[in-house]
Amino acid sequence: MDRAREEPRGRRAVSIAAPLLEVTGLSKRFGGLLAVSGLDLSVRAGEIVGLIGPNGAGKTTAFHLMGGFLPPTSGDVRFKGESMIGLKPHAICRRGLARTFQIVQPFAGLTALENAMIGAFNRAPDVGRARERAGEVLDFVGLGAKRATPARSLTLPDRKRLEVARGLATGPDLLLLDEVMSGLNPTEIEETIGLIRRIAERGVTLLIIEHVMRAIMALSDRLVVLHHGEKIADGAPTAVAADPRVIEAYLGGAGAPA
C-alpha cells in the first residue's frame, strides 16, 4: 500500500506551519493528586517524539487526555489547529489521532485480521476494502501469517504488534504508542524499533511512551521528560540525557539507564 500517494500529507509543508499537536497548560487532578500539571507539549508533523519519565509521572494519563478518554481539569489539546477537548475518542480517531494501550486491549474473540478490520473501518467504508487494508497492515507489522489466529491465542509480542496494527489501520496522522516494547526480549525490541522507523517513513508522526531507554534514545528526534506530572525537560535526546534535573529525577541516582 502506497500511503504517501493515497493520502498526501506533505510533511515538510506542514512542519513549517503550526504544529500537528499542540498541548497547552494541560492538567488533570484526581482528588488530591495532580497527575498531569500544566503540561505544554508540541509535536510537528513528521517528528518522532519520546515521552519519558519514572513510573507514575503522568505519561499514560497525558495520553488519556489527548485521546479523549479522560476530560482534563484544565488546559487544551489542539490537533491540526482544532481543539480536541470535549470530543469523544472515536471522533478524535476520526480526525487522525490514534493510540495504542499500554495494557493491550485486543478484541479477544476476534481473529487478528478482524481486529485490524475494526480499525480499518475508520477510513474504509465497506467490508471488502477494510479487509484488504487490514491485511496490508498486518503484513506491515509482521502478523500476516497469523491473520486467522484469534487474538486471545496470540503471544504477548504478537498482541503488542496487533495493538500497533489496529492503530495504524485507522489511518492516523499522529499515532500515540504507549509502551509497545514492555515485556519484549532484545530481539523483539530490535524488530519493534525497525517497525516504528518504517511507520514514520510512511508519513505517520509519532509520540511514544517508552521505558526501554536504548530504543527511545535511538528513535526519538526529541525527548520530553515528565516528573510528578510536570515537564522538566524538552529537547534533543543527548541534551536531555545530560540534563542534571533529568538524571536526578528520572534516574533518582540509581545508576545508568537500563
Binding residue count for another protein, defined by CB under 8 A: 31
Residue type (1 letter), 250: Y
Residue 134 or 223: the one with the smaller Cβ distance to another protein is 134
Contact 192, 165 (CB under 8 A): no
| 23: phi then psi, degrees, rounded to nearest 5 | -105, 125
DSSP letter assigned to residue 247: I
Q: Which amino acid makes up residue 131?
A: R
Q: Could you give the string, one character per residue 156-175, with x where binding to another protein holds by CB under 8 A and - elsewhere? A: ----------xx-xx-----
Q: Contact between 94 and another protein (CB under 8 A)?
A: yes
Site for another protein in 169-208 (CB under 8 A): 169-170
Please tell me what DSSP assigns to residue 236. -
Please give the span between the terminal C-alpha atoms of the chain, in angstroms, as a whole number. 37
Instruction: State yes or no: residue 126 binds another protein (CB under 8 A).
Output: yes
The CA distance from 181 to 32, in Å, is 32
Residue whose CB is less far from another protein, 37 or 122 = 122
The answer to whether 133 contacts another protein (rule: CB under 8 A) is no
Site membership for another protein, residue 141 (CB under 8 A): no
Which part of the chain contacts another protein (CB under 8 A), choosing from 7-15, 100-108, 191-199, 250-258?
Answer: 100-108
Cell triple for 218 = 535511538
**Strand, coil or helix: what is 28?**
strand
Binding site for another protein (CB under 8 A): 67, 69, 88-91, 93-94, 98-99, 101, 105-110, 114, 117-119, 121-122, 125-127, 130, 166-167, 169-170
